[in-house]
């Protein structure tokens, strides 16, 4: 039965609704597949079989009674370990929250449950979403299903690897500076970072509040469309939630490529030759179909990485101050002194990358440096937003490789944080501007590793992203055959 998981999400959804497969059969297929391959991939931190199968049985009973909660009733979806699920551990892949059980559901989880989705918690991640490779987890290193010696991307690497390895058809991740799009690219699947504020952050453990956004992963574009339509919409529990209705999947229509204006970037020596070749293949096919290509000057975006890391680390310093050994997380109190409690709890609870970012953020917020660093970065952020506004006065969409390279080997960049940070060179500016962007498959390199294409649209134009992605999937050389054998 686990063979059915080779089918794209759209086919699984059709089979569920037609009665060809039951929710229990689909859930069991996912469980069997996880048991078969996750010992090598290490995408999941836990697997509550009893809870999953009970939820699937309830879904089957509803369908049998002719009262399904929605067309998605019984569809499995994996959940990243920083999204709260009631009575379930939400550790953010950190020792400091190793035994923390959430007393409530995140808004996105509530919306999934109301539609009958079957939750598969918890997928591995970089600790507190701080990383680009999922090597910063306190518990395990997730591997790329295409090559187990390589990373799947991060910080949502567990969710991306779970979908790419056909363990689940859908997954949720979070994106602060590329943490959905970059792993989607390196794992050969679709991954959407929505417009900031269109998906509630209530119940998402905060890393950088002005940048974080929850979004979907799927093998096909329809999965991202459907999942986004369910989780989007105004939420009174989130002060940053925009006052817009949920996205309607029926609003997506085919994009006419003839006459569409596409913003493109100039290739440089930093980009791997195979990535350049795949990018040029897409652009040539678009041009043949009547698209108008407009080269944009991205020189002002050369500072996007330092701007991002000043703002993100400052916000992380503030957000993670709550994890002090008293209110949340593990507690180490060996001397009975308050200062020692703080130091010992955080020293043991936080990993090296989290400590590094807290220190950077605390420094940039400190007296005498606030204006020079954090204040200046916020001003520069406004300039990036205005630059995007200028771009979108000239073009409809912007196309770039999601990552300048394909997946690198485990351990290759862990000793050089700057090189690791550069993995997000084309994704961070999108978060700084609050725009929607999606990574779609763009082919494979000579080593058989996936290459991703990032498509960016103006705010609230997710429908334009989806329609264009549907047309893009019809071009030659873009579809990627996901790995059937692991290792």
Active-site residue identified among 2, 13, 42, 80: 80
Q: Could you tell me the sign of the dihedral formed by the alpha carbons of 401, 403, 406, 407, in that order?
A: negative
Cα separation, 438 vs 194, whole angstroms: 8
Active-site residue identified among 22, 137, 166, 179: 179
CA angle 188–190–193, rounded 5-degree value: 130
**Would residue 59 show up in a list of annotated catalytic residues for this protein?**
no
Quick count: other Cβ atoms within 10 Å of Cβ 355?
16
Sheet architecture: strand order including 76-80: 118-123, 76-80, 170-175, 213-218, 190-193, 437-444, 450-456, 397-401, 261-264, 292-295
Given a contact cutoff of 8 angstroms between Cβ atoms, the answer to whether 466 and 194 are in contact is: no
Pairing of β 292-295 and β 261-264: parallel
Cα separation, 187 vs 165, whole angstroms: 9
Per DSSP, 224 falls in state H
Quick count: other Cβ atoms within 10 Å of Cβ 422?
16
CA angle 203–196–87, rounded 5-degree value: 10
CA angle 153–157–163, rounded 5-degree value: 115
Active-site residue identified among 59, 155, 174, 200: 155
**Would residue 80 show up in a list of annotated catalytic residues for this protein?**
yes
Q: Is 451 helix (H, G, I), strand (E, B) or coil?
A: strand
**Would residue 179 show up in a list of annotated catalytic residues for this protein?**
yes
DSSP 124-142: --SGGG--SSS---SS---
Return all residues near 407 (Cβ < 8 A) that are at least 6 apart: 144, 146, 147, 150, 151, 152, 153, 186, 187, 449, 450
* Active-site residue list: 80, 155, 179
């Amino acid at each position: 039965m686990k063979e059915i998981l080779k089918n794209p999400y759209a086919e699984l959804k059709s089979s569920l609704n037609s009665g060809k497969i039951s929710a229990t059969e689909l859930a069991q297929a996912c469980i069997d597949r996880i048991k078969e391959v996750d010992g090598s991939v290490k995408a999941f931190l836990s697997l509550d079989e009893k809870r999953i199968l009970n939820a699937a049985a309830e879904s089957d009973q509803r369908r049998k009674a002719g009262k399904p909660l929605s067309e998605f009733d019984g569809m499995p979806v994996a959940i990243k370990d920083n999204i709260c699920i009631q009575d379930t551990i939400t550790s953010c892949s950190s020792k400091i929250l190793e035994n923390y059980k959430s007393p409530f559901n995140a808004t996105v989880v509530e919306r999934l449950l109301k539609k009958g989705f079957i939750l598969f918690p918890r997928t591995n991640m970089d600790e507190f979403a701080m990383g680009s490779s999922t090597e910063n987890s306190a518990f395990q290193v997730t591997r790329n299903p295409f090559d187990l010696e390589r990373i799947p991307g991060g910080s949502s690497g567990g969710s991306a690897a779970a979908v790419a390895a056909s363990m689940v058809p859908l997954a949720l991740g979070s994106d602060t500076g590329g943490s959905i799009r970059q792993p989607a690219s390196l794992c050969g699947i679709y991954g959407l970072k929505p417009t900031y504020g269109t998906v509630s952050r209530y119940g998402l453990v905060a890393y950088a509040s002005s940048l974080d956004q929850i979004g979907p992963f799927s093998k096909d574009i329809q999965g991202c469309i459907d999942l986004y339509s369910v989780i989007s919409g105004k939420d009174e529990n989130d002060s940053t939630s925009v006052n817009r209705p949920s996205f309607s999947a029926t609003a997506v229509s085919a994009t006419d490529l003839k006459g569409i204006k596409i913003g493109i970037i100039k290739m440089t020596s930093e980009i791997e030759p195979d990535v350049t070749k795949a990018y040029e293949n897409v652009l040539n096919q678009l041009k043949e179909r009547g698209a108008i290509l407009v080269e944009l000057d991205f020189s002002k975006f050369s500072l996007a990485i330092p701007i991002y890391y000043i703002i993100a680390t400052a916000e992380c310093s503030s957000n993670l101050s709550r994890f002090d050994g008293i209110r949340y997380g593990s507690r180490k109190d060996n001397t009975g002194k308050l200062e020692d409690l703080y130091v010992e709890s955080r020293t043991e609870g936080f990993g090296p990358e989290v400590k590094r970012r807290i220190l950077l953020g605390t420094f940039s917020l400190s007296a005498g440096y606030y204006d020079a660093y954090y204040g200046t970065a916020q001003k520069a952020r406004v300039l990036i937003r205005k630059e995007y506004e200028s771009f979108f006065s000239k073009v409809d969409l912007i196309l770039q490789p999601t990552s300048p390279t394909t997946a690198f080997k485990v351990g290759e960049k862990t000793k050089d944080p700057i090189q690791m940070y550069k993995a997000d060179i084309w994704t961070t500016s999108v978060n700084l501007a609050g725009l929607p962007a999606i990574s779609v498959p763009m082919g494979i390199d000579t080593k058989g590793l996936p290459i991703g294409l990032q498509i960016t649209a103006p705010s609230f134009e997710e429908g334009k992203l989806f329609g264009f992605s549907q047309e893009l999937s019809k071009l030659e050389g873009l579809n990627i055959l996901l790995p059937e054998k692991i290792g």
